[in-house]
Chain A
Amino acid sequence: MKIRARLPRLVAGGATLTLALTLSACGGGDGGASADDGKIHVLVYGDAANKVEKKLVDTFNKTSDVKVVLDTIPGADYQKKLQTIISTPQAPDVFFNWGGGSIKPFVKADLLMPLDDFIKKNPDLEDKFLPSVFNNAVVDGKPYGIPMRGTQPVLLFHNKKVLDKAGVTPPKTWDELLDAVGKLKDEGVTPIALGGGDIWPTQMWFQYLFDRVAGPGLFEKAVGGDKSAWESADSKKALSMIRELVDAGAFGKNYDSVKYTNGGSVQLVSSGKAGFELMGSWYYSQQLTDHEAFAEKDLGYTAFPTVEGGKGDPANVAGNTNNYYSVMKKTKHPEAVAEFLELMYSDDFVKAQLDIGNLPTTTNTDEFIETTGNAEYSRFQYDMVADAPSFQLSWDQAYPQKASSDMHKAIQQFFNGQLDTDGFIKAMQALPTE
């Protein structure tokens, strides 16, 4: 049994290696978007969702005179490579981003085209999307992005079998979660799997707890430049709750050596060595790919627990609101770009995204949900996002990109005890907000 569990990992490791080698070889070839070759270059974050983007491009190219070329950059390097090419002639015409802080510096550098004119000509480019999502790519009152994938709320996933065995029901409140941690520990499993080596999974715990305890206002204040927010009583309370959870052994001892991105934490949950994992909604399709039988039978999910006396609405959600296409000012074919962007609310697009487990944020998504393979899961997410009074964008995406490295360090160091509360507050206050 043990050997069986280990073998796929070795195979996966080998496959990853080959893949990394192939990808890096490709990267050199197709990244070259020249100044004007009568084509539109669209740059996208490279991952499993690319097949939908490819399909859309093919559809578009069938009828359009100006052809679209899809360029992809392997995930982890996307933002770095984008920023190094965006002010050069190699910059694409249209590119993938996370809205918010991820495009602010580009707007400031006057590289992006405001989409007012597109929307004036075709109001559907704004009206066909959920406003809370569309507004996340509005900078200084002007829209700069069209939602182009799915929304990704963060959910608390669990292994039903492990929870049953320990006599735990999925926790609705923070106290129930602490209680569950104790019971799971007694059973000898790691209560909560965490890919601390990646750091952004650790960050999710901060995002939700700060929102539950203080409401979205605290972080908005902080990211807006009011650094006193970090030393408020609410901030300290949220930090003490994180401390309490870590010290209770909720994440075991070796979470910083575990990664989500190499499948480590994913397998912890699927193999029954851990009970919970807090992760974005893409977790479901990841488990489906890695451990199909488990995902179909024993993978459960709930919203993040409520916190008694907290100021945040328990219906608030954290995660990635969506990804966006932004348009470069220098593009030579704005009309064709506008036509391409109109595909992002087409029925075909919605269906294709739903098929791969993404949840688009168009107004017509609702009609198609029931037709998908995992309708129940899509419905849960859709209602959660549609009903949420506030959707907290990932901290590292909301802050300017240059702050993310130092923010990650502070988060990891507070979590593993290298920084105390005051040290963490100071580190967060030192982050640039402009």
Chain B
Amino acid sequence: MTTQITSARPAAGPRKGSRRRPPASSATTVGRPGFAWALPAAVFFTLFAIVPLIMVAVLSFMSWDGLSSPEFVGTDNWSRLMDDPVMLNSIWLTLLLTVLGVVLQTPLSILLGVWAAGHQRNRAVLSVIYFIPLLLSATAVSVLWRALLDPNFGIPAEAAWLFGDGNLFGEQATAIGVLAFVSTWQFTPFHTLIYQGAARAVPQVLYQAAEIDGAGRYRQFFHITLPQLRNAMITSMILMIVGGLTTFETVLILTQGGPGTDTTISAYYMYDKAFKSFDYGTGSAIALVLVVAATVISLIVVRVSGYDKMRSSMEGVS
């Protein structure tokens, strides 16, 4: 079985033309993957994604506190949500945090990733250390930073010239800053890893040619490395955007959406409504808004970036 599948794979080789076509002989032994191959995945996806999604959609038209039986209330939840200033604000906050995440993490992880792509030993060791935040759960990271940023006994107390009275969690601007910083601290290593891999895949001949042409390190970076990282950049940004839209634990543990509702992003507001106020109807409506918004944004990104027809960026190299 194993050998058959292996032989069905297109033979890797430098010969053009033979790249996409598997040898004709193996095509008869193993057919093309049929629908049955997708069945297990399809069943699980339906059971754990599609069905709950439909249930959430239905629940958004109901009033339910988790105890009594749900009742249909028409569009009540939706019309209340439309007039809810906290909801509108939460969408802006979600977008703001997502954008901040992309803007902060992308340059950092590109620089770190390209640097880490070098084969020097010290870089390998440091890369491993940089990788550690990613191994911690978001919850652990948040608890850690909440303690580190304690105004009286944490970092702010020692660096009053920078933090003033240290009321980081008591004002909107600083609270958002902390959230963005903590996500950056945690997820930059992951994106660094993506860029490291991509930077190592850049053919050395390009750099050798550039050197012959007299291009310095900066020109090499901007004219070879960056363009070659384009696909990695798109992948990493899509992951950042999806991650930003679904951020939850950091807010839950660092700010609880506060002060007041100043950091109540949509995902937290959904949790607040459903699991703190036991209003599952409104919670479901917010969840549905999130699903639709995330889908639309992802589609736009895929379209604009050309992710759907992604080509190799190594044009002219062979």
A:1-51 near B, CB below 8 Å: 5-6, 9-10, 13, 16-17, 20-21, 24
| 5 residue pairs bridging A and B, Cβ less than 8 Å apart | A86-B67, A254-B170, A258-B151, A262-B150, A418-B260
The size of the chain A interface, using a CB distance under 8 A, is 48
The answer, yes or no, to whether A243 is at the interface (CB within 8 Å) is no
The answer, yes or no, to whether B295 is at the interface (CB within 8 Å) is no
Asked if A405 and B147 sit within 8 Å, CB to CB, the answer is: no
Stretch of A169-177, A203-211, A221-229, A408-416 contacting B (4+ beta carbons < 8 Å): A408-416
Q: Within 8 Å CB of B66, what residues of A?
A: 83-84, 87
Per-residue interface assignment for chain B, residues 16 to 32, with 1 indicating a CB less than 8 Å from any chain A CB and 0 otherwise: 00000000000000000
Asked if A262 and B153 sit within 8 Å, CB to CB, the answer is: no
Asked if A109 and B67 sit within 8 Å, CB to CB, the answer is: yes
Q: Which residue of B lies closest to A411 (CB)?
A: B260
Q: Within 8 Å CB of A368, what residues of B?
A: none
Q: Within 8 Å CB of B140, what residues of A?
A: 17, 20-21
In Å, the complex CA distance between A6 and B155 comes to 10
Q: Within 8 Å CB of A256, what residues of B?
A: 167, 169-170, 258-259
The answer, yes or no, to whether B313 is at the interface (CB within 8 Å) is no
Supposing A84-B275, A257-B151, A405-B276 touch, asked if A196 and B65 sit within 8 A by C-beta, the answer is no
Q: Within 8 Å CB of B151, what residues of A?
A: 254, 257-258
Give B residues with C-beta under 8 Å from A: 65-68, 137, 139-140, 143-144, 146-153, 165-170, 256, 258-261, 272, 275-279
Q: Within 8 Å CB of B147, what residues of A?
A: 9-10, 13, 16, 262
In Å, the complex CA distance between A254 and B279 comes to 32
In Å, the complex CA distance between A409 and B86 comes to 12
In Å, the complex CA distance between A333 and B256 comes to 40
> Nearest Cβ in chain B — how far from A365, in angstroms?
35
Asked if A257 and B272 sit within 8 Å, CB to CB, the answer is: no
The answer, yes or no, to whether A297 is at the interface (CB within 8 Å) is no
A:70-91 near B, CB below 8 Å: 80, 83-84, 86-87
In Å, the complex CA distance between A256 and B149 comes to 12
In Å, the complex CA distance between A401 and B277 comes to 7
Q: Which residue of A lies closest to B275 (CB)?
A: A80
> Nearest Cβ in chain B — how far from A227, in angstroms?
18
In Å, the complex CA distance between A406 and B144 comes to 27
The answer, yes or no, to whether A105 is at the interface (CB within 8 Å) is yes
Q: Within 8 Å CB of A5, what residues of B?
A: 153
Which of A83, A254, A409, A419 has the most chain B CB atoms inside 10 A of its CB?
A: A254
Q: Which residue of A lies closest to B276 (CB)?
A: A405
Asked if A254 and B67 sit within 8 Å, CB to CB, the answer is: no
Sample of 18 more A-B contacts, CB < 8 Å, known A13-B147, A257-B168, A264-B150: A6-B153, A9-B147, A83-B66, A86-B67, A87-B67, A196-B170, A197-B169, A199-B258, A257-B169, A267-B152, A268-B152, A273-B152, A401-B277, A402-B278, A405-B276, A409-B261, A413-B259, A416-B170
In Å, the complex CA distance between A105 and B170 comes to 33
Q: Which residue of B lies closest to A404 (CB)?
A: B276
Which of B260, B261, B272, B279 has the most chain A CB atoms inside 10 A of its CB?
A: B260
Point out the residue from A6, A197, A252, A402 that lies within 8 Å of B65, measured CB to CB. Answer: A402
Q: Within 8 Å CB of A405, what residues of B?
A: 272, 276-277
**Top 9 closest pairs, chain A to chain B, by CB:** A256-B170, A254-B167, A109-B67, A254-B151, A257-B169, A413-B260, A405-B276, A13-B147, A253-B165
Asked if A17 and B144 sit within 8 Å, CB to CB, the answer is: yes
Q: Within 8 Å CB of B277, what residues of A?
A: 401-406
In Å, the complex CA distance between A16 and B146 comes to 12
A:226-262 near B, CB below 8 Å: 252-259, 262
In Å, the complex CA distance between A395 and B168 comes to 28
Asked if A401 and B143 sit within 8 Å, CB to CB, the answer is: no
Asked if A105 and B168 sit within 8 Å, CB to CB, the answer is: no
Point out the residue from A17, A257, A268 that lies within 8 Å of B166, measured CB to CB. Answer: A257
Q: Within 8 Å CB of A257, what residues of B?
A: 149-151, 166-170
Supposing A257-B170, A264-B152 touch, asked if A83 and B278 sit within 8 A by C-beta, the answer is yes
In Å, the complex CA distance between A247 and B166 comes to 18
> Nearest Cβ in chain A — how far from B154, in angstroms?
8
In Å, the complex CA distance between A406 and B260 comes to 9
The answer, yes or no, to whether A380 is at the interface (CB within 8 Å) is no
> Nearest Cβ in chain B — how far from A250, in angstroms?
15
> Nearest Cβ in chain A — how far from B137, in angstroms?
8
In Å, the complex CA distance between A128 and B245 comes to 55
Q: Within 8 Å CB of A84, what residues of B?
A: 66, 275
Q: Within 8 Å CB of A80, what residues of B?
A: 275-276
Q: Within 8 Å CB of B170, what residues of A?
A: 196, 253-257, 416
> Nearest Cβ in chain A — how far from B261, in angstroms?
6
